[in-house]
Structure 1
Amino acid sequence: MGGKIMGMPCEVNSILKLKQSQGYPEKLIIGEQYQAVKEDYRIIPVDVPIPLVNNDWVAHADIIIRKLTWENKQTLVIFEIDRIYDRPFNVKA
Structure 2
Amino acid sequence: MRVRVVRRGGIAGVALETTVDTSELTDLEAARADSELSDLPWGRPAAAPRHPDQFSYELSVAGDDRAVVLSEDEVPAGLRPALALLTQRGTIRPASS
Q: Which structure would you say has the larger Rg?
A: 1
Structure whose residues are more often strand by fraction = 1
Q: TM-score range by the shorter chain?
A: under 0.3
Tell me the TM-score normalized by structure 1: 0.28
Structure whose residues are more often helix by fraction = 2
